[in-house]
Structure 1
C-alpha cells in the first residue's frame, strides 16, 4: 500500500467514526434533561472525543494530503533552469577535489 492509499484509508476510517459518534451524540442530546443529568460525565467525554477526532481529521488533511496535485510554486526558477545551472557548474573543480 502506498502513502496516498494509506492517507485516503485513514481519512475515510476517521470520517466514518466521526459520523457514528455524531449519531450517538445526537441521540444522547435528544434525551430528557433528567436522563442526561445521570450521564453527564459520559456525554461530556463523548463531546471531548468528538473534538479530538475533528482535530485529528483536520491535521490529517493538512499533513497527509489526499489530493496529490503538483503544488504551484511562486519561484521563477524552473527545473530546466536548475538543470542547466548544474550542468554548467559540474565541470568546475576545486583544489580540494584532488588528493587527500
Structure 2
C-alpha cells in the first residue's frame, strides 16, 4: 500500500468515526433538559473526542501530501510524510495508529 493510500484510508476512517460521534452528540443535544443533566459529562467528553478527531484529520491532511508527482518531476527529492519535519510538529504517532 502506498503512503498516500494509507493517509487517505486513515483520514476517511477518522472522518467516519467523527461523523458517528457527531451523530450521537446531535441526538443528545436535542434530548430533554432532564436527560441532558444526567449525561452532561458524557456529552462534554464526546464533544472533546469529536474535536480531537477533527485535529487528527487536519494533522493528517497537512502531513500527508496528496500529490507527489509534481515535486518529483521538478527534480526535488520526494520526502515521505514519516520523514517530513512537518509531521513531528503537526501530528503524533498515535494519530496514525502508532
TM-score, normalised to structure 2's length?
A: 0.68
Q: Cα–Cα, structure 1 residues 6 and 30, in superposed 2: closer, same or farther, change >3 Å?
A: same
Q: RMSD value over aligned CA atoms?
A: 1.6
TM-score, normalised to structure 1's length?
A: 0.66
Q: Tell me, what secondary structure is at the counterpart of 1:66?
A: coil
Distance 2:23 2:17 in 1: 10
Offset from partner CA, 1:38-88 (integer Å, 9 cap, x none): 1111000000001111000000100012344525xxxxxx75xxxxxxxxx
1:70 paired with 2:70, answer yes
Partner of 1:44: 44
Unaligned stretches of 5+ residues in structure 2: 76-98
Unaligned stretches of 5+ residues in structure 1: 72-77, 80-100
Q: Which has the larger Rg?
A: 1
Distance 2:2 2:15 in 1: 20
Distance 1:66 1:15 in 2: 17
